[in-house]
Amino acid sequence: MTTSVRPGAGSSNAARRDAFSERLLKGSVRKSYAPVVDIDWQAPIDPDKFFLPPRIVSLYGTPLWDKMSREEQIELSRQELANTLSAGIWFENILNQSLLRKMMHQDPTSSSTHYELTELGDETRHMVMFGKAIDKIGAKPVTPRLYQRMIINTLPFFFRGSVLWVAALVGEEIFDSLQRQMMDDPELQPMVQRLMRIHVTEEARHIQFARDGLRQRTPSMRWYKRAWVANLNGVGGYFFRYLFTNKVQYARIGLDARAARRMARSSAHRREVQISGFAPLAAFLEEVGLMGRLGRRMWRRSGFLPAKTPPLTAASGSATSVEADLTEDVYDGFAILDTGDGDLYGTVLFAGTAAPGITDITPYWRPAPWAAGVVVVDALSWGDADDGLIERWQSLPEWPQMLLRALMFRLAVHALHPRSTAAAFPGLARTASLVRLIL
């Protein structure tokens, strides 16, 4: 027995989902890659460059790292990259299977289905890219054990609805956030830099699609489903802790694998790296109400959320109610304000290779990433900047909101300023269409 699909039937949410998907499809047309030809696979590997930035390598900042020679450190980064890319291949496999099973129950004419097929194509090319990269760096892939492969093959049967989109974000966004932090590191192999830039550009659309799927679903979720998803996602913390400290990568360079793993997991620096990588996703899960108490505890215990702030003692003179508030996690978000220059595009002069000259400072009391948002909006609107600039600082807190507010600010100035001209508006309209893609 088959279930009929009713083309065109659906709620306003489905129509909005299709409209959002259509914008992502247009973005895919403008900016997609074929890694087989877009990476120079014939370029030689630089023997003095790392395969992951040193500060991202799991043992960085530990006594064991300090005892290693530079060659040993580079070799560890090679094995950790191979481990990470291997895990990426497993995950893309799971996601592709899940998307294909999901499509069996969808309208094949809808834009959302078409975007899922586009994403599936992206992920397939990423699997090829990761496999070629492992071969290029002269490493062996890290193969899951039999029981792990059995688990991997059963997961697509359970990744449905909101669970699928949360799993997609857990699998993609932590990697994405870390890649954004390290892809411009001068100590990184050029081939790896190119790989990360391609991956970040295309994954940005996948992440927005998954986020939109959750925003559509969570308001109507039954309480028990919401509780299930909000707490189940915490398992991702233990998966990533296992992945980032896989004993295989230590054994391959001749270290005591158990001792190295213990040292990596106890590293304060490693914990900071994990927290920074998870921060954008943590903020989103809080936003949509999918960070449950148990889920939060698991993320914290696995080292991806900061420890609770110790309560103030009575001797400090603080009230009990304040103490209770301060036992919650501390996040850098909208409450963190700073003074930023709101008109860098118009007040910084460039002349060849000379140092930039600042003609004026226009201070705004705004969240810290505000200035970056204004610079990006201005550069896209009037500086002929590439569309990819909008994703360059996505790791900054509340980046979509920063861009939206910067865009609204510029639109308001355009509408109200007596010296504004019609020639300035097309650039703002272009930027508005780009900002809509990431909201």
pTM comes to 0.69
pLDDT of residue 257 exceeding 50: yes
Residue-level pLDDT at 327: 39
Domain limits, the chain: 12-301, 337-438
Backbone φ and ψ of 190, nearest 5°: -55, -40
Query: With helix as H, strand as E and coil as C, how does 195-237 read?
Result: HHHHHHHHHHHHHHHHHHHHHHHHHHCCHHHHHHHHHHCCHHH
- If one counts every other C-beta atom within 10 angstroms of the C-beta of residue 299, the result is 27
Q: What percent of the chain has pLDDT over 70?
A: 84
pLDDT in tens, 35-89: 888 999 999 999 999 999 999 999 999 999 999 999 999 999 999 999 999 999 9
Tell me which residue of 217, 267, 228, 204 sits closest to 393, measured CA to CA.
204
Residue-level pLDDT at 307: 80
pLDDT greater at residue 226 or residue 358: 226
* Burial 29-67, CB ≥16 within 10 A → b, else e: eebbbebeeebeeeeeeeeebbbbbbbbbbbbbbebbee
CA distances, 235 to each of 155, 304, 341, 423 (Å): 13, 11, 41, 52
Q: Identity (one letter) of the amino acid at 96?
A: N
Distance in angstroms (rounded) separating the CA atoms of residues 173 and 282: 10
User: Please, are residues 9 and 190 in contact by the beta-carbon 8 Å criterion?
Assistant: no
pLDDT of residue 126 exceeding 90: yes
Residue-level pLDDT at 406: 85
Residue-level pLDDT at 193: 93
Tell the CATH topology of 12-301. Ribonucleotide Reductase, subunit A (1.10.620)
For the segment 251-273, the average pLDDT, to the nearest whole number, is 94
pLDDT of residue 4 exceeding 60: no
Residue-level pLDDT at 399: 84
Residues 6+ apart with CB under 8 A from 367: 333, 334, 336, 337, 338, 397, 398, 402
Q: CA dihedral in degrees (75, 78, 84, 89; nearest 10)?
A: -140
Residues of the chain by 3-state class (helix, strand, coil), percent to 5: 65, 5, 30
Q: How confident is the model at residue 361 (pLDDT cuts 50, 70, 90)?
A: low
Residues 6+ apart with CB under 8 A from 310: 327
Structure tokens at 88: 């990426």
Q: How confident is the model at residue 352 (pLDDT cuts 50, 70, 90)?
A: low
Q: How confident is the model at residue 423 (pLDDT cuts 50, 70, 90)?
A: confident
Distance in angstroms (rounded) separating the CA atoms of residues 201 and 198: 5
Task: Identify the helix (H) or strand (E) that includes residue 338.
Answer: strand 337-341
Distance in angstroms (rounded) separating the CA atoms of residues 181 and 317: 40
pLDDT in tens, 174-194: 888 888 888 888 999 999 999
Residue carrying structure tokens 């039999």: 146
Distance in angstroms (rounded) separating the CA atoms of residues 231 and 254: 38
Distance in angstroms (rounded) separating the CA atoms of residues 252 and 79: 7
The number of residues making up the chain comes to 439
Distance in angstroms (rounded) separating the CA atoms of residues 65 and 60: 6
Residue-level pLDDT at 364: 60
Residues 6+ apart with CB under 8 A from 416: none
pLDDT in tens, 287-346: 899 999 999 999 999 999 988 644 433 333 333 333 334 334 443 444 444 555 555 556
Residue carrying structure tokens 């790896």: 192
CA distances, 372 to each of 184, 395, 404, 427 (Å): 17, 12, 12, 18
End-to-end CA distance of the chain: 40
